[in-house]
Every structure is written in structure tokens, then in C-alpha cells.
Structure 1
Amino acid sequence: MQQCGFLLVAIAAILMASCKAEKVLPVKESIKDITGSWQVIRATRNGTELTTLIDFTKFRVNFKDGGYTIENPLPFLVNANGKFSLDDPEYPFKITFTATGGTAVSTPFNYPIVNGKRQLSITFSPGCPNNSYVYVLQKVN
């Protein structure tokens, strides 16, 4: 029995000696790049699905070099081309649009990957604060 006790103590000592704390360094998040042309794949207003009611197929938001252009305008956060910025290039939670000659307008912003494709989700209220729109956009290839 004494050999069994010695064996257990030896195993415990070996296990304790082999366990050492490893430093886990945080992985630097890549900068979110929204450059390109984006189309609406889903739209809601106050929770009501709009995608089947309105033709969003020609509407585009094009992001390039800190600027944006809008093709075939529909109700959107801004109604003219201009500049955009993200609140944080690594962890963006807000996007700001500044139409040429206009004032800056910010809105919540999500940048998830869904089914292997990057999406933009933008929530906004153009004009009437009682109407809340959510546009889910996907990059056009």
C-alpha cells in the first residue's frame, strides 16, 4: 500500500511540474475594409419586411478611399454622395456618412460574416424618428 501512495505522490508531482501557465497574447484584429459595391439583400421598416415590396436590386452603396457614392437612391441615411468613416477601424460599431455640403450622420453598424460572406447591417431613421429602417447589404462581386 505504501508503494501505491508513493506512486500517486510521484504522479501528482510530475503532473504539477508539467503544468505551467502559458501567456496567451491577444490576436490583433484586422482592419475592417468595406471598400467595394454593396447591395441590399434584406430591408425592414419598423420590423416589416420590405424586400418583397420594393425593388432593391439596382440600389448600390459604393465605398472607396473614404468616400461613398449612391446609385439608384431609395430611402437611406443620406441622399447624396460624400465621405464616410468608421468609429474604430478594427471593431466598428458606428458608421458616419457626411454628404457633400451636408452634416455628418452616424448610425449603428454591424459587420458580420453570414454563410461565409461579409455583410453590413445599417440601422437608420431618415426624417421621421417613428420609422426605423434596417438594411442588410452584401458586397457585389
Structure 2
Amino acid sequence: MHNMKFTRRFFIPCILLTIMVWASCKVDKVSPVTESVKDISGTWKVIKATRNGTDITAYNGVDFSQFSIVFKSGTYTLNNRLPFLTDTSGTYSLNDPQYPMQISFAPVGETAIKTDFVYPIVTGVRNIDLTFSANPGCNSNIYIYTLQKVN
């Protein structure tokens, strides 16, 4: 009889605990989060430039600090020419406004040029990474410009 009392004392709390755990579990519907449209409008400057994997940001022959690109309402304007995808201003578009992987530059009166588009946040700051071969120039030279928005 003594063993039966112990079993009841143990059994009833276990049943109650099981019921409480089961009753507390409910399935919540998780709504998918819609990614926002990427807004690149504003003035962007080169903070790092590489050519074929070598950092050329501090290269003596080029002053990257003077170059900027201004994105505004589907157009872009280049300031202080550098080796870039294009020499002239024009229009731009992202291949997907929410999940862009490419950006297309269409200089006025010329054919559009597409390039890889990466939009990372680095140490809390949004950057744009563009990878391209300079035109005109040697197609074996691969440039990567890391741009950061000017405040």
C-alpha cells in the first residue's frame, strides 16, 4: 500500500505537467517578411578599389577621393572620371528591386552595361560593390569598387 501512495503522488503530477505542457504548445503562424526595395539614391564615393585582387585605392596615379556617382530617380551622374563601366552619365536599373544581383548602366545614346551588384552592410554601414572590366581597356583587368554613401 505504501508503494501505491507513492505511485499516485508521482503519477498525478506527471499527468498534470504533461497536460500543461501540451496545452501551452500552440502553433503560431509566421507571416513572411517582405524585403524592402533597395534605394541607392544619393551620392556614393569609392572607399576601396582593387584591380585583379590588388588594392589600388592609394595608388599614386589615381585620386579616387574625387570620383563620385550620384543615383537619383533612375538616373546616374558621374563626377571626376575614373576607369569605370562607362564614361558618361545615363540611366540605371537593378535587375530586381528587392533582391538585386545586377545593376545595369545605360549611358545616354549607348547600349546598357550590366555588372554584378552587391549591397552589403559592413560595420553598420551600407556599401555597394561593383565588379567590372574597364571600358575601353584591357578586359583581363578586373576592378572591384566598394562605394559608400556620402552623408
TM-score by length of 1: 0.95
Q: Distance in 2 between matches of 1:132 and 1:26?
A: 38
Which of 106, 111, 128 is residue 103 of structure 1 equivalent to? 111
1:27 is matched with which residue? 33
Secondary structure at the counterpart of residue 69 of structure 1: strand
1:61 is matched with which residue? 69
Where structure 2 has 5 or more consecutive residues not aligned to the other structure, the ranges are 1-6
Write out aligned runs for 1:1-141 (5 A): 1-53=7-59, 54-127=62-135, 128-141=138-151
Secondary structure at the counterpart of residue 5 of structure 1: helix
Cα RMSD for the two superposed structures: 1.1
* Aligned-partner residue type, residue 25 of structure 1: S
Q: Distance in 1 between matches of 2:28 and 2:143?
A: 47
Deviations 1:17-54 (A, max 9, x none): 11011111111211111111100000001100010103
Secondary structure at the counterpart of residue 96 of structure 2: coil
> How far is 1:129 from its partner?
2.8
Would you say how many aligned residue pairs link Structure 1 and Structure 2? 141
| Greater displacement, 34-43 / 3-12 | 3-12
Greater percentage in helix? 2
Deviations 1:38-95 (A, max 9, x none): 0000000110001010310110111111000100110011111100000111111110
Q: Quick check: which has more Rg, 1 or 2?
A: 2
Secondary structure at the counterpart of residue 12 of structure 1: helix
Q: Distance in 1 between matches of 2:52 and 2:14?
A: 66
Q: Distance in 1 between matches of 2:15 and 2:85?
A: 69
Secondary structure at the counterpart of residue 77 of structure 2: strand
Secondary structure at the counterpart of residue 57 of structure 1: helix
